[in-house]
């Protein structure tokens, strides 16, 4: 067997449709000798979370429109 495991997950964003799997590797050195099934599952999920937080991030859209809208809301408050 390989010294690396090819891990896979997908991002569940709540929308129906095709998901795009994310792939990364886990090194065998991350596994401790005394790990049971539960510990191994936790390790796998922690590795996924770490990969997710380092590689997946939101990209804002409509920033200018939001700024215009927000300024309009502030202006309405000032006029009251």
Q: Residue 31's domain spans which residues?
A: 4-78
CB distance 52 to 11 below 8 Å: yes
Domain total for the chain?
Answer: 1
State pLDDT tens for residues 6-22. 999 998 888 887 788 99
Helix or strand or coil: residue 24? strand
- pTM tops 0.85: no
State pLDDT tens for residues 18-61. 788 999 999 999 999 999 999 999 999 999 999 999 999 889 99
Say how far apart CA 25 and CA 51 lie, in whole Å.
10
Residues 47, 49, 52, 54, Cα dihedral to 10°: -80
Say how far apart CA 10 and CA 20 lie, in whole Å.
6
């Amino acid at each position: 067997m390989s010294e690396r495991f090819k891990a896979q997950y997908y991002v569940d964003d709540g929308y129906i449709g095709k998901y795009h799997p994310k792939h990364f590797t886990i090194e065998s050195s991350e596994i401790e000798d005394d790990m049971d099934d539960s510990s191994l599952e936790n390790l796998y999920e922690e590795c996924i979370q770490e990969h997710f937080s380092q590689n997946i991030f939101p990209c804002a859209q409509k920033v200018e429109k939001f700024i215009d809208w927000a300024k309009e809301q502030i202006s309405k408050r000032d006029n009251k």
